[in-house]
Amino acid sequence: MDQIRLTKPASEHESQVWAMRRELMDARDPDSFAGCAGLEECESYGAWLERLRLGENPATVPEGRVSASVYLALRESDRRIVGIIDLRHHIDHPILGTWGGHIGYIIRPLERGKGYAPRMLRLCVEKARERGIPRVLVTCHTWNTKSERTILRCGGVLENEIAVDGGAIRRYWINTESASL
């Protein structure tokens, strides 16, 4: 099984991130850009990197958002980006505390079904533990059974299901100290 690691986006990742962005736009699935920190809205890779830089620092995070760290999941064997994951430093926010959660992630369409999602989530839960976050809220739509399986494999415990925009979202908590990492 291919090993992956989480790394901060840097200039050397531009062509791969932009290719992944195109794949996500072409996929047109409802959660295409979950955990991508506004990648779909940015006109350039440089603009996205600046957005991430400002968003990581509580002093410079745009109004209405919370500070967060975004990571690329790189496959070790060929350094290919297989996904993007976003760790929000807290969820003291009306959307994040209700249905957005601490972590959002997406797997590159051409890399789905290879077991990367649970490994990415486990690595991100470790990052949360390192930041002193004792437990993380991870959510998924009720129709997203693949994401639900990923969350459960990583120790997620269902708290409840809530109605959001005509659908339903399941809220899971993962204890960062005892998660199955």
What would the two tokens of residue 49 be? 């990197």
pLDDT at 103 exceeding the cut of 60: yes
Q: What is the per-residue pLDDT for 33?
A: 78
* pLDDT, tens digit, 9 for 90 and up, residues 123-180: 999 999 999 999 999 999 999 999 999 999 999 999 999 999 899 999 999 999 875 5
* pLDDT, tens digit, 9 for 90 and up, residues 18-28: 999 999 989 87
- Residue 180 in any domain: the answer is no
CB contact set of 140 (below 8 Å; sequence gap of 6+): 147, 148, 151, 169, 170, 172
d(CA 112, CA 144): 14
Q: What is the per-residue pLDDT for 36?
A: 84
Q: What is the per-residue pLDDT for 29?
A: 75
Q: How confident is the model at residue 34 (pLDDT cuts 50, 70, 90)?
A: confident
β-strands 4-7, 167-175 pairing? unpaired
d(CA 103, CA 85): 7
24-28, 69-73, 108-112, 134-138: the lowest-pLDDT one: 24-28
Q: How confident is the model at residue 1 (pLDDT cuts 50, 70, 90)?
A: low
- Residue 50 in any domain: the answer is yes
CATH of the domain at 79: 3.40.630.30
Q: How confident is the model at residue 75 (pLDDT cuts 50, 70, 90)?
A: very high
Mean pLDDT of 4-29: 93
Q: What is the residue-averaged pLDDT of the chain?
A: 93
- Residue 93 in any domain: the answer is yes
> Looking at this protein, which amino acid is placed at residue 180?
S
Q: What is the per-residue pLDDT for 154?
A: 95
Percent of the chain with pLDDT over 90: 80
For residue 131, give its domain range. 4-175
- Residue 181 in any domain: the answer is no
- Residue 102 in any domain: the answer is yes
The total number of structural domains in the chain stands at 1
Mean pLDDT of 68-93: 96
- Residue 18 in any domain: the answer is yes
